[in-house]
Chain A
Amino acid sequence: MLNLNLKLNTKMFEKDAEQIPIRKGFGEGLVLAGEKNPQVVALSADLTESAQALPFKEKFPNRFVQVGIAEQNLASVASGLAAMGKIPFITSYAMFSPGRNWEQIRTTICYNNRPVKIVGSHAGVSVGPDGGTHQAVEDLALMRILPRMIVLSPCDALEAKKATLKSVDTNTPVYIRLAREKTPVMTTAETPFEIGKAQIFWTSEKPQVGIIATGALLHKALSAAQTLEKEGIEVEVMNLSTIKPLDEEAIINLAKKTGKIVTVEEHQIAGGMGSAVAELLVKNFPVPMRFIGVNDEFGQSGTPAELIEHYGMGEKDIIRAIRNLL
């Protein structure tokens, strides 16, 4: 059952459940961050509206920098701003930032130890009709291998808003992964959020499998849990919105409690969240695992629903993986 201690949105499974793009939550969080901290600045590479820096730009025009379609410059200019005490948020599509400008992020942000926040919107195949060139399914891997980088992948707009606010105070580089599409809101304003803390969204007395999900696909994992409960199969579902640093204790505990783990992410299986979990478990508490994600392929055009199904990341794929482990 849903973990009501976390004050989750109990209407999340209803047909008319509220849906908001995750990126919208970032846009609201950025304005709040700007109000709270005068050092917060935002940069855009010609995607101000869609990557959600527009509300910030309108409110704080003097703290906004438009660099044009130039993501490499975007990252390094932000590093320079941070060198003078600013807390810059660089906003673009994940395919271009951190896709295009990885080395600038590595050297001028991480190696330089500058607290720049990299906001990659439109991540995952659910970008839809734009096609594979615009569907970043490698970004978590690119970011989690960088020393000093914190990697956040919020599950809904409300969590994205909280993650944005919390990221201001880390004094480290942070990557925040966002999705374009409307996503069911699973949390509420009261749901607690802390960087580095995993949360069990679906609890069970005697879980047979532990599901660890990140991003919008968490909703599919929760739906799968609900479907299976009716058949008498019990699982627990973890929302892993901080992919680095991992909440090691919580993940190991879930593995101990369930003995079997399925990871779910809208990302390449190689190098993503599932890999991070596997790296942790294999040396601490190895259990059989299944990985839901993109399997060494590129995306393509289609509706988000068609693509999630085509690449094997839907509810029935999650259920199949769970049955496979039983």
Chain B
Amino acid sequence: MSNFSDERRIELEEKANDIRESIIEMLVEAGSGHTAGPLGMADVFTVLYFHTLKHNPKKPDWDERDRVVLSNGHICPVLYSTMAHSGYFPVKELKTLRKFGSRLQGHPHRDFLPYVETSSGPLGSGLSQAIGMALADRMDSKDGERRIYCFLGDGELDEGQNWEAMMLAGKNKLHNLVAIVDRNNIQIDGFTEDVMPLESLSDKWRAFNWHVIEVDGHNMEEIADAFEAAKSIYEKPTVIIAHTIPGKGVKEFERDYRWHGKPPSKEEGQMAMNELRTLGGRIKSEHE
């Protein structure tokens, strides 16, 4: 099952690469922030914003837009980068990340950047907010017109509020709600299965009456297909468990939990940019 042509897939992969480059640049400039999660989720964000989402970056308050709730607010560099590349604000503004007066706060804040649907950072409350949105649309009979997407980290699922929320969404069969779990297996203190085991994660969601789709979070077609398939599930909310590689795109950062909460240094950033620009060495620089 394929949603799009090879050209489309390549176009999205190039977009994801641009988004990753911007993530590196903004983190190096900021001197603080999270690296692994944003790089790992770049492909999923790319598919959502450039393929699936109903939105209009030139009219961010368009009422009929789909809603995106970023519960794991610390991966906001990928949200900011994707939004900038979508046209919500200039790409060069990304370099103001985490600086005084910037619209791009260290964790998203609607007061500064009204284009984000929620302010977030403290983990565990985004799914509840997304459920509130989905419930409101059901009350107003708008649940067939727009969808609510909610990003969650896997480590974030340690927070009990998520399970309160999962029960409520399952009870109410919120078919207009799609949760996306970044299953990258790391959190600040180490691997998720060491800190607090989550497996069998898909069985847990199923037990709470959710429809579960597992995807390779770096396969554009699988991601797009999952978003599409979720639209046909009517009796349940859908969760897409996206298996991702933290730090994806920069070999030196990949799968290393120590990159969860720190930015690259200038040198590491240069190395990462070279790697991304050459697509991991597959493209030879003309200077070599």
Contact = CB atoms under 8 A, between A and B. Distances in A.
Contact of B133 (A41, A67, A72, A81): A81
B139 A80 contact: no
B122 A79 contact: no
Interface stretch (A107-115, A236-244, A309-317): A107-115
Contact of A77 (B110, B119, B124, B135): B135
Interface stretch (B36-44, B158-166, B189-197): B158-166
B198 interface: no
B111 interface: yes
B129 A80 contact: yes
Interface string B110-131: 1100000111111011101111
A1 interface: no
Given A41-B139, A112-B110, A77 B122 contact: no
Q: Contact residue range for chain B?
A: 20 to 34
Contact of A73 (B67, B120, B139, B164): B164
A80 B132 contact: yes
Contact of A72 (B109, B118, B164): B164
Interface in A61-93: 62-63, 65, 67-68, 70, 72-73, 75-86, 88
Given A107-B119, A112-B118, A113-B110, A68 B167 contact: yes
Nearest to A67: B168
A72 B135 contact: no
B136 interface: yes
B266 to A, nearest CB: 33
B118 A68 contact: no
Q: Contact residue range for chain A?
A: 20 to 34
B113 to A, nearest CB: 13
B129 A77 contact: yes
A108 B71 CA distance: 11
B110 to A, nearest CB: 6
Nearest to A41: B139
Q: Would you call the interface of chain A mostly helix, strand, loop, or mixed?
A: helix
A75 B137 CA distance: 18
A206 to B, nearest CB: 49
A77 B118 CA distance: 12
Given A72-B125, A104-B125, A104-B161, A84 B119 contact: no
A306 interface: no
Interface string B82-126: 000000000000000000000000000111000001111110111
Interface of A: 41, 62-63, 65, 67-68, 70, 72-73, 75-86, 88, 103-104, 107-108, 111-113
**Which 5 A-B pairs give the minimum distances between C-beta atoms?**
A80-B132, A76-B128, A84-B136, A70-B164, A73-B164
19 contacts: A68-B168, A72-B124, A73-B128, A73-B164, A76-B126, A76-B161, A77-B128, A79-B129, A80-B69, A80-B118, A80-B130, A80-B132, A83-B67, A84-B136, A84-B140, A86-B132, A86-B139, A107-B121, A113-B110
